[in-house]
Structure 1
Amino acid sequence: MSSRLTPLLTSLLLVLTHTVTVAQSAPPALAAEQLTRRIDSIQKATAIPGLQVLVFTRDSLLYRRNAGLRNLTDRTPVTDQTLFPVASVTKSFVAASALLLIQQGKLALTDELKTLAPEISFSNPWEATDPVRVAHLLEHTAGFDDWSPKAYAYDGSRLSLKDGLQITPESRTCRWRPGTFMSYTNTGPPLVARIIEKKTGQEFESFVRQHLLRPLGMNRATFRRDGAALTDLATGYTGQQAVPYWHLLLRPAGGLNVSALELMSFVQLLMNRGSYHGQQLLAPALVDRMETPVTSLAARAGATQGYGLHNFTTAYQGHILHGHDGGSTGLRAHYLYHSGLNRGIIILVNSDGPGFNQLKDAVLAAVMQGVPPQLPPVYPLSETQKQAWVGHYRPSNFRLAITGWFLGLTELLRIREEKGNLLMQDGVGSETVPLRPVGANQALRMDKRGYTAQVTLVQNEAGEPVVARSFGSGIVANTATKTSAWRAWLPLILGHVSLLLLVVMVFMGFGWLIRGIRLRRRGRQLSALPLRVVLVVYAFSYLVMGLCLNMSNDTLGVVSPLSVLVFITSLLGPLAALGALLGLVRSYSRIPGRTDRLFLSVAVGSALLVVGYMAAWGLVGLRIWQ
């Protein structure tokens, strides 16, 4: 079969599938008053400063709620005119823009990055056989790392897209074969935007404004803090602390400012299969492709959920909805729609607290209330097939490579069989969730809130079983690789024991200080004093380093007191651990008490283990601003 015929048949199949979906009956009427009470309750309980919530159909607005303040200082209320930075929702406009060029025959999803933009540096060890293609960039399956702290902190207000791509090019390294696993990253969308600029001779923002924003009536939307954003932009808040406007290094990754009402027209475009007010901007088959994951192993294994072209799925009681989220410090955004049920949702808030997810759950539950579940039949797994699922899985294919050192010590996925049923525990201490097999290698995760996300069992290049999850863009590791029980638990046990010893040693330091003072008054000296001092220095250094890295602070990406402190502690910890080893060797025989000797020996051993682990992850002398 020719390479051109295959996409054509796929498109026809998608259109036929959509025709069946649209034939579904519409959901019951929305209980507007009840929804308003729920929204107001969540806003009050979680201290959301301001919000916009819409529920709509393909051609009409069903529900609108503007509430709270866009700015707590001047007490300006949220209105229809209020613009919110929508962060990664911007990526959907990148995909739609690329599809416009595909429709015009100027671009193809199979086109290779190195051919389209040879001046953009990237590293792909598999380029000869598996080049990075446009589809990989849009589906986040190129294997690129996410932005570094430096990229997040960089002020891109005066940079062109071409110049911005010269900053931190190291994130453009394929960590696995392109088209293997999906891992959400901000690295790919700006590359597609730059390709669009080269194909059209226009600045990306100008192209989007001409071919999408204006035809959709989104005349007040901006990509910078200009125009309507100078007067009507919501201020983001972390708690009650205002967050400065984020001048993104590369705006196509998340720079759009827009109101919910204007964003609604874009979502309606997708709901109407590329048509808006009688104008066919995109072919229906292209919208179907935007919603369909294709390039990952999970998709090729039959997964129907996942991440399409900057458009991901959310499954609720078996119904597949499409959309995208956006998040930055102090702000959250969300759009979701189901063309067959003729319902769309938009939620914009100027807070990054827990209220956003509660709003998403509440609004979706209200929209889907009374809609019968559409769960596929249970697939009868054989005992051999069940055992293929059962086991321990460690997180892999991280969104940000540098986080792997921490997640490898804290995260664990386990699937077990109980009374003939598969149960999944996605994280140590998390609730156990039933899995509903819908194929030999596909199952639905039956969340008690009604979500039915899909997990797919595939194999990596080494032949290891891998669980690929379709839980949305925010997951730090969408995949988990099967391992033995002891390999799964040993890092967690050692990690938690080492962390406990760090805390204990800091507190012990105070005890040793008091003991040392008392002994000195008696003319005596605390045994192995240098050893105890360097152990406390080691423990304190790594605790401070961990706390600093855990902060959501843009100053980590630049030379600042915080980032310099990370650098100093990342060196001081290993030096102190080596000093502790030397001190133990010199003073071991002079330490009175078997218990004391045992504790100090274990502490030194733990310190050396931690330092070795951190060194393996490149976290010794960590200059995070680079």
Structure 2
Amino acid sequence: MLLTLGFLPIATAQPPHSVIQFDTLTKRINRIMRDEHTPGAQVLVFTKDSLLYKLNAGVMNLKTKAPVTDQSMFRLGSISKSFVAVSALLLSEKKQLDFSEELKKAAPEVQFSNPWEDTDPVRIVHLLEHTTGFDDWTLKDFAVNDPNITLQKGLDSSAATRHSRWRPGTFVAYCNSGPPVVARIIEKRTGQEFESFVQQHIFAPLGMKTSTFRRDGAALTHLVTNYSGGNTPREERYLHILERPAGSLNAPALELMSFVQLLMNRGTHAGVRLLDTSSIHRMETPTVSLAAKAGLEEGYGLHNFVTSYKGYIFHGHDGFINSGLAYYLYNTELNLGLIVLVNSDGAGFGKIYNAVLDVILKNIPQRLPPAYTLKKAEKESLLGFYRASNVRFGFSYWYEWLTNVSQVVEQDGKLMMKNLLDGATTPLRPVSANRFIRLNKKGYTTSWALVRNDEGQKVLTGGFLNMTETTALSAWFPIVLGGFALLMSVLSIVAGFIWLIRYGWLKRRSQLLSAMQVRMPLWGYSLSLPLFLGVTLVQVPANPFTVGIVGVTAVTIFVTSILTVAFAIWAFINLIRYRRQMPNRFDRAFLWIAVCSALLVVAYMAVWGLIGLRLWA
């Protein structure tokens, strides 16, 4: 079958690829880009030795309307980390790098802290598999924009994030703090700047002629402009990130395809072997986490994550930098690879790669391992409540702790995982006593393992998500209490407008509305809290590379966090002082309940360090 893009022949596919409906895929992608206002995209589908499908769609820049072409370069973000892993494997094969080596010996100049260092030191393998327990960069680190910063200077700047929050080698928590350390060790062992080493030993052999970690060379003319804001796109500046090996790579899709085909060909390119087959296998295989030791195939290898779709194992990596999104996936058994690159942070990216997977695997039947029948004790051990733990961002755990809570239940003889906040349920398919497959409606078949942490608690771990057992009371009580506090805040906002109207009406009649000294600060609290939550939960995830500097968003969060607390305390003090000036029982009861709920919110903010929150600090 002759596959085409428009009227240009691309490649002749062989079964089973010949049944893929690429014309349908093109229509779906174009529709998604139009509906989601995605400016530009590159999409490739390929085998280990041929290109099956290529789509250059949209524009590089909304002002110039320059179209996306083969030469257009996209920001690949964290896909850069895969090049750190291959570089490390090249040195490992030459016996210049031992993954079991302790960090303090390999790079004593790199600052870090690990309470378990005497018995469980941080090793290079932990840096590569994201099991150090390090926190991710601070928002201040994400906002750094210095084209001349050296790797060592960047590492010095982010030293505070390299603190092991749990025993190294136990749980995966993705972070940008570890991979650049490996890149620095590579520099020390080779005497070359990391970018120069990659250029010589990876880019050049693979024919990646324009790929670069900097805004130089072809990137000066062929790099796309990134946009944020979805329906109302806002042009983003080029960001020179804190530590380039973590996520600064720029490349066109066709050049990235050469790298992915190197992995699919188990280390060879154009008939030349660059890596041993065993090195590729090692890159794809998680080894040190508790989940990996429990037999879980999925997780995070050496800067290569493992995911499952319709029961088929795919390897790859994604990337996000300053509103640019990128993704590569491949499966050597099916001899299929895909690349999706976009220059917008909207919903189009996720919908596009879901559409690609759906179309290219449409005629491939789901393949899952046989279901395992849990014994009564095994089932009872699994059932219960679980809360997110061992998270990537320490900063955001105040929110995840409250909202990311699930329950494993049995319904009609089937195991289900239920999110307590929205009630969404996902089937769980046991494949052994301690391993399960979570059957996502979109086709993803994520594997999970039930393990125990150092405290002996049960932990459901899968991919980058870890959930530790908790009690029903601990799971539900904060959600109910938090929901009630938010409800009272909303009611207080409405009441505030009513109070102002009543105050004006009574004043014309030379009368006074009682306890205005309580009502007004309570209203101030009820207005400040949703503004604080809204900006923090919407703007920070949407603009992680910009909110770490003094600006409108950061200052708004700082000011509203203080006003929320100040108004709540002011309202409470006045409630005590003027409690006898409230003759109406309903008013008195409402104000007491509303003010006390506000104090609960203040206490929660104090526990999590949210009062006077300075994202730039």
TM-score bracket for the superposition, by shorter chain length: over 0.9
Cα distance per residue 1:514-551 (max 9 Å; x no partner): 11122222222221111112212222222222222130
Cα distance per residue 1:37-71 (max 9 Å; x no partner): 22222222222111111111111111111111111
Q: What is the deviation of 1:27?
A: 5.3
* Equivalent residue, structure 2, for 1:610: 601
* Equivalent residue, structure 1, for 2:564: 573
Cα distance per residue 1:198-222 (max 9 Å; x no partner): 1111111111111101110001001
Q: What is the deviation of 1:559?
A: 2.0
Distance 1:450 1:518 in 2: 60
* Equivalent residue, structure 2, for 1:512: 499
Cα distance per residue 1:480-524 (max 9 Å; x no partner): 111111210111111121122222222322221111122222222
Q: What is the deviation of 1:575?
A: 2.3
Aligned partner of 2:85 among 84, 90, 95: 95
* Equivalent residue, structure 1, for 2:437: 444
Q: What is the deviation of 1:561?
A: 3.5
Aligned partner of 2:156 among 154, 157, 166: 166
**Residue 366 of structure 1 aligns to a residue in which SS?**
helix
Aligned partner of 1:227 among 213, 217, 240: 217
Letter in 1 for 2:69: T
Cα distance per residue 1:62-121 (max 9 Å; x no partner): 111111111110000000000000111111111111111111101111111111111111
Cα distance per residue 1:173-207 (max 9 Å; x no partner): 11111111111111111111111111111111111
Distance 1:174 1:231 in 2: 42
Give the unaligned 5+ runs of structure 1: 1-24
* Equivalent residue, structure 1, for 2:4: none
Q: What is the deviation of 1:288?
A: 0.5
Distance 2:21 2:559 in 1: 57
Over aligned residue pairs, what C-alpha RMSD do you find?
1.5
1:34 pairs with 2:24: yes
1:541 pairs with 2:528: yes
Alignment of 1:138-149 (within 5 A): 138-149=128-139
* Equivalent residue, structure 2, for 1:487: 474
Q: Which moved more, 1:28-37 or 1:78-87?
A: 28-37
Q: Which moved more, 1:121-130 or 1:561-570?
A: 561-570
Distance 2:161 2:211 in 1: 29
Alignment of 1:8-27 (within 5 A): none
* Equivalent residue, structure 2, for 1:303: 296
Aligned partner of 1:345 among 333, 338, 353: 338
Distance 1:461 1:266 in 2: 39
Q: What is the deviation of 1:435?
A: 0.9
Distance 1:548 1:451 in 2: 32
Aligned partner of 2:98 among 100, 105, 108: 108
Distance 1:418 1:547, change over 3 A: closer
User: Does the CA contact (< 8 Å) of 2:19 and 2:363 recur in 1?
Assistant: no
User: Does the CA contact (< 8 Å) of 2:449 and 2:462 recur in 1?
Assistant: yes
Distance 1:52 1:158 in 2: 30
Letter in 2 for 1:101: L
Letter in 1 for 2:57: A
User: Does the CA contact (< 8 Å) of 1:459 and 1:465 recur in 2?
Assistant: yes
**Residue 78 of structure 2 aligns to a residue in which SS?**
helix
Q: What is the deviation of 1:253?
A: 0.9
Runs (4+) off by over 4 Å: 25-28
Aligned partner of 2:113 among 88, 101, 123: 123
Sequence identity (%): 50
**Residue 309 of structure 1 aligns to a residue in which SS?**
coil
Q: What is the deviation of 1:389?
A: 1.3
**Residue 257 of structure 2 aligns to a residue in which SS?**
helix
Q: What is the deviation of 1:145?
A: 0.7
**Residue 479 of structure 1 aligns to a residue in which SS?**
strand
1:292 pairs with 2:285: yes
User: Does the CA contact (< 8 Å) of 1:538 and 1:574 recur in 2?
Assistant: yes
* Equivalent residue, structure 1, for 2:236: 243
Alignment of 1:28-67 (within 5 A): 29-67=19-57
**Residue 608 of structure 1 aligns to a residue in which SS?**
helix
Alignment of 1:160-559 (within 5 A): 160-238=150-228, 239=230, 240-426=233-419, 428-470=421-463, 478-550=465-537, 551=539, 552-553=542-543, 554-559=545-550
User: Does the CA contact (< 8 Å) of 2:158 and 2:177 recur in 1?
Assistant: no
**Residue 429 of structure 2 aligns to a residue in which SS?**
strand
Q: What is the deviation of 1:355?
A: 1.4
User: Does the CA contact (< 8 Å) of 2:132 and 2:164 recur in 1?
Assistant: yes
* Equivalent residue, structure 1, for 2:585: 594
Letter in 2 for 1:68: G
**Residue 288 of structure 2 aligns to a residue in which SS?**
coil
Distance 1:603 1:489 in 2: 21
User: Does the CA contact (< 8 Å) of 1:42 and 1:359 recur in 2?
Assistant: yes
Q: What is the deviation of 1:430?
A: 4.9
Distance 1:464 1:532 in 2: 46
Distance 1:331 1:293 in 2: 27
Letter in 1 for 2:394: A
Letter in 1 for 2:616: W
Q: What is the deviation of 1:555?
A: 4.1
TM-score, normalisation: structure 2: 0.94
Q: Which moved more, 1:298-307 or 1:565-574?
A: 565-574
TM-score, normalisation: structure 1: 0.93
User: Does the CA contact (< 8 Å) of 2:149 and 2:242 recur in 1?
Assistant: yes
Cα distance per residue 1:379-426 (max 9 Å; x no partner): 111111111111111111121111111122222212111222111124
User: Does the CA contact (< 8 Å) of 1:324 and 1:336 recur in 2?
Assistant: yes
Q: Which moved more, 1:221-230 or 1:232-241?
A: 232-241
User: Does the CA contact (< 8 Å) of 1:555 and 1:563 recur in 2?
Assistant: no
Number of aligned residues: 596
Distance 1:444 1:145 in 2: 28
* Equivalent residue, structure 1, for 2:12: none
**Residue 341 of structure 1 aligns to a residue in which SS?**
coil
Distance 2:564 2:348 in 1: 38
Letter in 2 for 1:63: Y
Distance 1:236 1:527 in 2: 55
User: Does the CA contact (< 8 Å) of 1:121 and 1:172 recur in 2?
Assistant: yes
Aligned partner of 1:80 among 58, 70, 76: 70
* Equivalent residue, structure 2, for 1:13: none
**Residue 136 of structure 1 aligns to a residue in which SS?**
helix
Letter in 2 for 1:406: Y
Aligned partner of 1:583 among 574, 577, 586: 574
Distance 1:286 1:464 in 2: 35
User: Does the CA contact (< 8 Å) of 1:142 and 1:179 recur in 2?
Assistant: yes
**Residue 70 of structure 1 aligns to a residue in which SS?**
coil
Cα distance per residue 1:415-467 (max 9 Å; x no partner): 11122211112462253221111110101111222211101111111111111
Distance 2:428 2:371 in 1: 10
Distance 1:561 1:261 in 2: 39
Q: Which moved more, 1:537-546 or 1:510-519?
A: 537-546
Letter in 2 for 1:603: A
